[in-house]
Amino acid sequence: MHQHDHPVSELASPSSHTPNVRAWFTSSSAPSSLDPRDPVLDGFLRSIYQQETADVADFLRAQGGVYDKVFRSFFARECECTRSCEVVEPGHAHTLQERTEYIQRSLPPLQSVFDGLGTQTHNHHGSFSSWESLLSDQTSEPLSFRKTQASLTQKSVTISRQWDVDSIWFGAKTLSAIRPPNQFRLSFFPSHKSNISTNQIIQPHGLDLAHTRHTSIGSFSTGNVRFNVIMFFPNGSRSSAPASMNSLSLDRFRDLYDDIVIPAAYETLPDHAQQEIPSSYDLIYAKSRAYQEKPGAGRWAADDESRTFRLAYSVPAEFLSRFWASVVQKANLHRIQTRRGETVAYYQNPCLLFQAHDLKNLFARPNLQESLVLFRDNILAGLDPEQLDLQSCWLDVGMRDHVSRQPHGQTLSQNDHNSHHEPWTLLWKSACCRHLHGRLSSIAPEAPVDAKYYRSSLLRDAGIYYAKAKSTKPCNPGHPGFKSPGIIRAKAYNCKKELFGVMFNDYKLFSSGSLPLLAFDEEMFKDLASMDQNRQRAFTPQLSRSHIKRAWEANKRHLRAISSARRYPNFGIRKEVTFRLDVILAMLADGAFQPDQTTHTGPMIQEIMLDPTFNTQHYPFWIVPTRVINDFISTQAARFILPLDDIFREATRKTAECYSSSSSSLNPVRQILAFYTAQLFCRLLIYALSDEDEEQHFDNWIWKSVWSVRPRGRERSVSERRGLGLGSLIDSTGMLWIPQSHIDWQHGHLSLEILIHLYMARSPLQARLAHQPNVQALTATHIVVERLFQEWLRDAQLSHDTNCPEKANEYANRAIVLAVEETARAYYQHFLAKLASYWDRVRDQVGRQSLPALSCLQRARDESAADTARILSAQTIRTIYCEAWVEYSRATSASGHLLEQGTECNMPDELPCWMATRQRLPPKDSWSDFVHSVLFYHPNTQPKWSQLYFLQLYRSFREQWDSVKVWAGQFDRQFGIRIGHYIRVMFNTDRTKEVGTTRGEGTWYHGRPPFFQIQFWAPYFSPPQSQKGIPLSSVYHRRQYSDGLSPSTMSTIPTARDFQALDELVWEHRVQIVDNIDSLRSASHSYIRRHCRAALLYVSSLSGPTWGSNGDVKFIQPWSVERKGIDEYGEEDVFRIPVVYNHIPKHMSESIINQPTIFLPNRDNVMGLLKNIESLPGHSASFIARLGWVMCELDNNGDQYDVRSHLFLRQTEPPEKEILSPDAVDVLVISEGEEEGEEEAEDDEDDEDDNDGERAHRGDDII
């Protein structure tokens, strides 16, 4: 006898099959269950009655009606789409077996493919050219599951169903919800993996779980089920994922343990329980690090959960009521002080959540009634319902369908006999999953649900489905206060993931984002690691290439074991829905799940014909022998493992092939191309072995041919980006093939013509070392800069050989400027990283919670890494030190340290510590010469810091310059006269130490943190004498000149000392106009005018040579400091070394300065100040006119002045184009942040590792 499901159209009305909740809740007595001998269920129903209000009775009744439809419709075995949504297939199609055999013709035996990286010999199968037959030699026959199923010798199978309860969440009021004789295990310092890191659709107590500070405080067991107990702090600072960030800091743990938990335990627990609990935070901390007390002992990893078990102590349930009351009382009274001096009730009103996951097999029964009764007896019996917030309790109810294996002792037909010995796998049909979502959405249309679809193993016709409620302010089904019926979460997935899953690792083989790094050799790998460390110093990465190689081989070993298995289980399919506990209990009490009354939740055994044409019903799953699908998936994986092995093996060879035998420097280019190819194959390998979201935006470059993105800050603009478009090939052929034009088969990498048009967004799945910005920085260094430098040198040599000296000099000049700019960029990134490391030492000394990171320093680091990098100067250092001193003063005064009066807001004159020379007097005071000789030119003895990245880059440029030095001159001469225009600040450095400091006794610096002792060099600006006495007619041609001007009017310039005086004056006003503009806007107009008039006068005088009469400026232009030829650089350097004041000769007092220039006359400074002046209120009409004239004169057509403020990386913009028409439709438009994985994780529990029994259930890892 086979039980059949009912289509949606035949479902009974809610009133006919739902619990009589209204009758219960409107009666004068408490409700009771159908069974008078069921005190557990009666107790929970009574608590539901007591906790609910009269209007909620209607909600429970309506929600019960929705749930009844869910059980009848969503869990139905048949599909109503009647094959209309399936793909129409031609008569000539391949079965899974035929496709596996076809691919294996181009493969060596699978066991040899899955051997170690060094064991496979090079043959024709292992060469790059053999990839084509593996990846692109597609057949004309599409892959067909329908034909696969129909071609099997067995005619039918029997499907049976098991119901279960999987995950449970209890929002508890107190710990006394745990009934005796159970015991609570109080634990300390839990693993951060026990924290909730992703947005949860359920909201016990109305909390946003992932963004509310919380920590696990212990666990308890009831009915062989272990529950994790999590304590939430709604008043704590809002946190963001990942889990390590939404836990408590060590300072907050100290407060929680020393002031709340431990005192409560010592006040309320008996001696025999109390004596085991550590008496202080310090003792708990010492116990947690006890491994350090034995020399050579191993250490606990950060996510080692054994720490929780070792620091766990039993508390009898009968004492939990007093203990929790004491915890709450102390938490409500406790206050912490913020850095601003405010007091916060951080721990006030703590909330509890009990959660347990992965319970499917414990509660698996043939009908749902039995599963829920088992749940009642094992779980509910151990809890006190009066101490639970029953509106904040949820559970996952699901079912699994398998091909049935008849029990021993029964007579088996021939078909049943074969079925008993042949393991089978069920797979959801991807087309039916979309229809399933339509059925689910129609049940409660007023509470919409979002759907996600997942492609299984790169197959078109097999997939899975996940849906969750769309949370909005008016509609939030996961909130206990929401009183409209709805569905919170549902899913349908394949159980075969257990075969290719890795326990405790998100069930994914080859999922490490570091694996593609094997495409780099050791040298390139270290260079990439130095990029990740901001090139701070000669750096040895913790993650080595050998570590990654071992991980790669371990993954292959796992896959080899899977592919060679001698026996397989039956793999079924699963559906699962998250329900409110109170509604499910009401339905249980009303008999809604009695198997003799409701067949849709009772036992289901059904015979299904394997040939779909003979089935009168349409089923939403495929039935395939496990051996067949295992062979296909293993073969599919081998298609990507074999070329990946070739790529990785190539990187280990001593002599890599190059495009041109004449230049070995192209090897990095080859490796980076191989890395991008390995990234593609590794992603496809993961897809081949698992179920992956079809709409992960960071993988658009793989699946889509073209898509559109709305960039940040440009709401009306849409950018079009291009990808490989492999998704359409899966749709047309049933599985993945790579077009022949996409791969350079000869050299074994993505075709360069294709690669340069791909837009690869940053992926959150990549390891930090391999993430896209890091690789792009490496690419810019090794490909863009190096190739462009070589190209210009080659063009220069060609022009010289063809007797075109002007062109030759032009190309050589471009090359040397590129070398100077990129070397300066590398130095600045190192310089700022070093400065940040010194500040980190101060934070460690004072306290990282008290002393924040410096925003100005971080901004400078970001700007130095941008395509248009900002050039550092004395102004940058002064700004950083101003912020540092304010923060340091604030933090140390709060800690009780003594400070000098007035230092809270005013930085001492000693900061920053500027250096001045005693020896380098004119004409030996050129700043460029000084920078070159100190940082780069070391002809005799190399300094100890000679292996820093910026010096490696400099030496690389110098070596390549040798090809043109005969006629273009020595590299160091060309480089040395320019470098000072791009490096304008540096540490005081000698051969033994890179960073000099001042700390002598009797000086202000003595006893200060090293950050405030650092010595800096920076130049002062000396107006070029060549700009003095220039006739106006040579720069400004007019028939008529304004009053006071004539063609013969000569330009005037300030002396170096006058310029420095103007600079100091304009800086005082700039601080008010730029740094404090918000407060200046609210000041009086007279105060604003006083600052703005002075600033305009001073900035006009120092921005360049001026022409006028009687002190009135009539014409001005920016300083011209560029030199047309190398000979002109020797004439004078506008940047000069400051000289110690008492060493300045009297006759040179007007031209030599002892301090660096802070406000350099570059366009960024000048126009930025003028625009801020323009934005302020209170100006007179004459002043506005004068300001407009000055801005027009100094605008320079939007270009930089000769005194530059930015570097420019010589590479093109990202491969995208802007769609100009705002009416563009029919395109996918997503936000840029969403595409790059920068937003918070999707609100699924599914990203969590559920096997730790603490966070998420196994059915959720498919996301």
On whether residue 945 sits in a domain, the answer given is yes
Q: Is 164 helix (H, G, I), strand (E, B) or coil?
A: strand
pLDDT at 198: 74
Over the stretch 8-21, which tens digit does the pLDDT of each residue have? 333 333 434 444 44
Over residues 94-102, the mean pLDDT reads 95
Q: How confident is the model at residue 546 (pLDDT cuts 50, 70, 90)?
A: confident
Domain residues for 989? 823-1007
* Residue among 1099, 882, 1131 nearest 1025 (CA): 1131
Complete DSSP assignment for 499-523:
TS--TTTTT-TT--TTGGGGGS-HH
Type of residue at 642 = L
In the chain, how many domains are there? 3
Over the stretch 1052-1083, which tens digit does the pLDDT of each residue have? 999 999 999 999 999 999 999 998 888 888 89
On whether residue 467 sits in a domain, the answer given is no
On whether residue 540 sits in a domain, the answer given is no
Whether the per-residue pLDDT at 659 is higher than 50: the answer is: no
Q: Are residues 1002 and 1037 part of one domain?
A: no
CA atoms within 13 A on the CB side of 861: 19
Cα separation of 424 and 623, whole Å? 7
Type of residue at 722 = R
pLDDT at 612: 77
Classify strands 1106-1109 and 1112-1116 as parallel, antiparallel or unpaired: antiparallel
Whether the per-residue pLDDT at 1123 is higher than 90: the answer is: no
Q: Are residues 350 and 201 part of one domain?
A: yes
Q: How confident is the model at residue 1253 (pLDDT cuts 50, 70, 90)?
A: very low
Cα separation of 255 and 251, whole Å? 6
Complete DSSP assignment for 98-134:
HHHHHHHTTS--HHHHTS-TTTSPPSTTTSGGGHHHH
Q: Are residues 1002 and 1114 part of one domain?
A: no
Q: Is 1192 exposed, middle or buried (0-12, 13-18, 19+ CB in 10 A)?
A: exposed
Q: Are residues 956 and 1032 part of one domain?
A: no
Q: Which of 251-255, 510-514, 869-873 has the highest mean pLDDT?
A: 251-255
pLDDT at 264: 96
For tokens 């491969």, the residue is: 1215
Over residues 390-395, the mean pLDDT reads 94
Higher-confidence residue of 242 and 311: namely 311
Over residues 1197-1222, the mean pLDDT reads 65
pTM of model > 0.85: no
Q: Using the 8-state DSSP alphabet, how is residue 1036 labeled?
A: -
Q: Is 540 helix (H, G, I), strand (E, B) or coil?
A: coil
pLDDT at 27: 43
Task: Give me the phi and psi of 576, to 5 degrees please.
Answer: -155, 140
On whether residue 481 sits in a domain, the answer given is no
Cα separation of 866 and 95, whole Å? 52
Asked which of 577-581, 720-724, 833-837, 977-981 is least confident by mean pLDDT, the reply is 720-724
Q: How confident is the model at residue 708 (pLDDT cuts 50, 70, 90)?
A: confident
Please give the sequence-ordered ranges of beta strands (E in DSSP) within 543-609, or none if there are none. Answer: 573-580, 605-609
Whether the per-residue pLDDT at 954 is higher than 80: the answer is: yes
Over the stretch 1141-1193, which tens digit does the pLDDT of each residue have? 888 888 888 889 999 999 999 989 999 999 999 999 999 999 999 999 999 98
Q: How confident is the model at residue 1214 (pLDDT cuts 50, 70, 90)?
A: low
Higher-confidence residue of 53 and 68: namely 68
Q: How confident is the model at residue 7 (pLDDT cuts 50, 70, 90)?
A: very low
Higher-confidence residue of 760 and 70: namely 70
Structure tokens of 42? Answer: 């009666």
Q: Using the 8-state DSSP alphabet, how is residue 74 labeled?
A: I
For tokens 């009269």, the residue is: 54
Cα separation of 38 and 55, whole Å? 27
Over residues 565-589, the mean pLDDT reads 92
Q: Which of 328-332, 656-660, 1229-1233 has the highest mean pLDDT?
A: 328-332
pLDDT at 725: 92
For tokens 């006028």, the residue is: 1108
Cα separation of 467 and 492, whole Å? 9
Q: Are residues 1164 and 1113 part of one domain?
A: yes
Q: Are residues 187 and 278 part of one domain?
A: yes
pLDDT at 3: 41
Q: Are residues 1078 and 1139 part of one domain?
A: yes
* Residue among 753, 649, 664, 754 nearest 127 (CA): 649
Residues 343/898, Cβ–Cβ less than 8 Å? no
On whether residue 901 sits in a domain, the answer given is yes
Q: Are residues 1047 and 1002 part of one domain?
A: no
**For the chain, what is the mean pLDDT?**
82
For tokens 């093939």, the residue is: 737
Cα separation of 1154 and 745, whole Å? 63
In angstroms, what CA-CA distances link 538 with 169, 600, 668, 955? 50, 67, 20, 15
* Residue among 1121, 1026, 1206, 1127 nearest 809 (CA): 1127
Over residues 112-126, the mean pLDDT reads 60
Cα separation of 588 and 18, whole Å? 10
Residues 193/1254, Cβ–Cβ less than 8 Å? yes
For tokens 């067995």, the residue is: 154
Q: Do you find a cis peptide bond into 242, omega within 30 degrees of 0?
A: yes
Structure tokens of 1238? Answer: 């920068």
Asked which of 55-64, 507-516, 533-542, 1213-1222 is least confident by mean pLDDT, the reply is 533-542
Percent above pLDDT 70 for the chain? 80
On whether residue 1101 sits in a domain, the answer given is yes
Q: Please, what's the largest Cα pairwise distance for the chain?
A: 119
On whether residue 829 sits in a domain, the answer given is yes
Which residues fall within 8 angstroms of residue 649, CB to CB, at 6 or more apart? 117, 118, 122, 126
Cα separation of 627 and 1198, whole Å? 68
Q: Are residues 1206 and 1064 part of one domain?
A: yes
* Residue among 651, 642, 703, 655 nearest 674 (CA): 651
Structure tokens of 143? Answer: 């892959």
Which residues fall within 8 angstroms of residue 953, CB to CB, at 6 or more apart? 781, 822, 823, 826
Q: Are residues 1040 and 929 part of one domain?
A: no
The region that residue 1196 occupies, defined by phi over 0 for left and psi between -120 and 50 for alpha, beta otherwise, is left
Q: How confident is the model at residue 661 (pLDDT cuts 50, 70, 90)?
A: very low
Structure tokens of 1140? Answer: 């110690």
Which residues fall within 8 angstroms of residue 932, CB to CB, at 6 or more apart? 972, 975, 976, 979, 980
Cα separation of 477 and 490, whole Å? 13
Type of residue at 530 = S
Q: Are residues 1070 and 994 part of one domain?
A: no
For tokens 């003095």, the residue is: 1028
Whether the per-residue pLDDT at 660 is higher than 90: the answer is: no
Task: Give me the phi and psi of 680, to 5 degrees please.
Answer: -65, -50
pLDDT at 1224: 43
CB atoms within 10 A of CB 664: 11
Which residues fall within 8 angstroms of residue 927, CB to CB, at 6 or more apart? 980, 984, 1019, 1133, 1135, 1136, 1137
Over the stretch 754-800, which tens digit does the pLDDT of each residue have? 877 787 776 655 555 555 555 655 665 556 566 778 888 999 999 99
pLDDT at 892: 85
Cα separation of 658 and 666, whole Å? 6
Classify strands 351-356 and 621-625 as parallel, antiparallel or unpaired: unpaired
Q: Do you find a cis peptide bond into 181, omega within 30 degrees of 0?
A: yes
On whether residue 1112 sits in a domain, the answer given is yes
* Residue among 687, 690, 699 nearest 724 (CA): 699
Domain final residue, candidates 343, 368, 393: 368
Domain final residue, candidates 984, 1007, 1030: 1007
CB atoms within 10 A of CB 1158: 22
Domain final residue, candidates 368, 400, 427: 368
Residues 158/403, Cβ–Cβ less than 8 Å? yes
* Residue among 643, 595, 889, 596 nearest 750 (CA): 643
pLDDT at 1035: 83
Q: Are residues 1041 and 991 part of one domain?
A: no
* Residue among 789, 800, 885, 899 nearest 842 (CA): 885
Q: Using the 8-state DSSP alphabet, how is residue 785 labeled?
A: I
